[in-house]
Amino acid sequence: MENVNIKINGRAYSVPADSTVLEAARLAGVDIPTLCYLKDVNEIGACRLCLVEVTGARGLVTACVYPVNEGMEVFTNTPRVLAARKTNLELVLSNHERKCLSCIRSTTCELQKLANDYGCDEGHFEGESVQYELDTSTPFLVRDNNKCILCRRCIGACKNVQDIGVIGATDRGFDTHIGVAFERTLSETSCIACGQCVVSCPVGALYEKDDTQRVLDAIGDPTKHVAVCVAPSVRATLGECFGYEPGTDVEGKMVAAMKRLGFDGVYDMNLTADLTIMEEATEFLGRVKNGGTLPMMTSCSPGWIKYCEHYFPEFTENLSTCKSPQQMFGAMYKTYYAQKNGLDPKDIVFVSAVPCSSKKFEVQRDNQNAAGVPDVDIAITTRELARLIERAGINFKGLADEKFDVPFDIGSGAGVIFGATGGVMEAALRTAAEVILGKPLEKVDFEEVRGIAGIKFATYTLGDITVRVAVASGTKNAKELLNKVKSGEVEVDFIEIMACPGGCVNGGGQPVQNATVRSTVNLRELRASVLYNADKKMDLRKSHENSAVKKLYDEFLGEPNSHKAHEILHTSYVKRGL
């Protein structure tokens, strides 16, 4: 790519010719403020916060969409620019519900920070404001248009990233607001609960249904036995809520903090990730040998399951019938563990800490009650877990590392990598390959399915069997892949799909990061590297070698895909349609 020569605030720079002024400035170490801009998600120049002066231009221009050209001179901090930004911020504040002390995004709100940076008078433009009712119709999300600043980043995430588009701008002028067609509630749409709109929102207009008080109430109830399991990717992201750099593994501190919250047991979901692989790999091999429905598709991501039910109901027969690791853990805890310890499943409150808002939908699905009560009672996001730790006054950074509780403390590296796109596929291949070949693999790394590419393909020859696999993350990529499978353009045997781009490490329940970080730091890659590094260091890297999983089969389940395993660990789906 050719470069052009420009000046920014009087200093000369050579920048790529296809850059915008915003991108060029960031390369030069100058961070121009934005609200509506989110790289590759929303680039529309609507908020007018990135205004700059450019020689030869008529008036101020929006840096996020204005292209550079040879000899351009840009000024980012003149009195005229700073005054315009402050005025625009105060106009945004004039129709924004300013309840910062009680807002879930206080201290992580991009508008709040900019208002402080520019010394805004929040009451400068007083006048009429529109009042909206909160949309609390779903079990996973709250929409509060009283705090919406019409940046449209949520629309960009829903349409441009996920290719779903259930929300959009409605009405015009002063009455413009973000909503659903015909002013319906979100629960009346084919929303898949992925939460990508939440992590894209710069303010508190979108947030997960907060279940932290339900968890505290359960812990405080002496008649309840309260246990929690933690998904693989949470250890790779929770630290961001406490000031750690993205890509920091905080597993030990996370466990220590959760034990101080008062749970009766703190467990690693890696165990049931391994259990999932035992069931799923066995199911796949059974379909291959017995002429079952192919390609088989993974079932770990509840956002993907909901997407399939709505948008590709003809593929529900292709879905693995395995419950997700979250649901398997709750099911085993309320059956196997309850029986061994004399507990009544009705007295158990099982909590999961997960990277995903769609898990809140999953716990309410039908056929997720192996013990006659819900397998999982409460699903909390990584953000909610951080709020619980902060509310309890726990000094996260000051904690010494601790280990998960027995008997569910053993997990393999295959379980760890579930949190990254391609991880479920690789874990399944490690087990399926050794079953087919009847001997240990010389190399357990299936690197072809790794990486953050939206769609990946690989073919493996295992003895007399050729296995063609595909991996997709983000429902926009899933749509492209599934349409190619329907048309016959692509022929595969096994497909992994995750609803969120990059997999669970980029889930809708993960810590929010501001637009600058999300535009300049590869969060998906950094977070995923935590999981792959942990896997690489482990002696146990295959699900079928997990001694704790073997014990579950020996003492309770019998064998993978047994009748009892199907009753407890498998589920069914619904053809929802649009």
CATH numeric code, 93-208: 3.30.70.20
Given a contact cutoff of 8 angstroms between Cβ atoms, the answer to whether 298 and 418 are in contact is no
Structure tokens at 158: 């829903």
| Amino acid (1-letter code) at residue 314 | E
Fold of 3-77: Ubiquitin-like (UB roll) (3.10.20)
How confident is the model at residue 572, as a pLDDT?
Answer: 97
Domain 213-569 in CATH 3.40.50.1780? The answer is yes
CA-based nearest residue to 471, from 528, 513, 411: 528
Given a contact cutoff of 8 angstroms between Cβ atoms, the answer to whether 351 and 263 are in contact is yes
What residues contact residue 139 under an 8 Å CB cut-off, 6+ apart? 209, 360, 361, 364
- The number of beta carbons lying within 10 Å of the beta carbon of residue 159 is 18
How confident is the model at residue 578, as a pLDDT?
Answer: 77
Cα 134 → chain centroid: 23
CA-based nearest residue to 266, from 152, 415, 407, 73: 407
| DSSP for 288-332, written as a single string | HHHT--SSEE----HHHHHHHHHH-GGGGGGB--BPPHHHHHHHH
For the chain, domain boundaries:
3-77, 93-208, 213-569
Given a contact cutoff of 8 angstroms between Cβ atoms, the answer to whether 37 and 110 are in contact is no
Element (H, E) at 230: strand 225-230
- The number of beta carbons lying within 10 Å of the beta carbon of residue 537 is 10
Structure tokens at 319: 């879905």
pTM (predicted TM-score): 0.95
**3-state secondary structure (DSSP) of residue 178:** strand
Cα 528 to Cα 469: distance, rounded to the nearest angstrom: 21
pLDDT in tens, the chain (578 residues): 799 999 999 999 999 999 999 999 999 999 999 999 999 999 999 999 999 999 988 889 999 999 999 999 999 999 999 999 999 999 999 999 999 999 999 999 999 999 999 999 888 888 888 899 999 999 999 999 999 999 999 999 999 999 999 999 999 998 999 999 999 999 999 999 999 999 999 999 999 999 999 999 999 999 999 999 999 999 999 999 999 999 999 999 999 999 999 999 999 999 999 999 999 999 999 999 999 999 999 999 999 999 999 999 999 999 999 999 999 999 999 999 999 999 999 999 999 999 999 999 999 999 999 999 999 999 999 999 999 999 999 999 999 999 999 888 889 999 999 999 999 999 999 999 999 999 999 899 999 999 999 999 999 998 889 999 999 999 999 999 999 999 999 999 999 999 999 999 999 999 999 999 999 999 999 999 999 999 999 999 999 999 999 999 999 999 999 999 999 999 999 999 77
Cα 316 to Cα 312: distance, rounded to the nearest angstrom: 7
How confident is the model at residue 14, as a pLDDT?
Answer: 96
How confident is the model at residue 130, as a pLDDT?
Answer: 86
Cα 526 to Cα 529: distance, rounded to the nearest angstrom: 5
Cα 169 to Cα 149: distance, rounded to the nearest angstrom: 12
Place of tokens 């970080």: 517
| Amino acid (1-letter code) at residue 239 | G
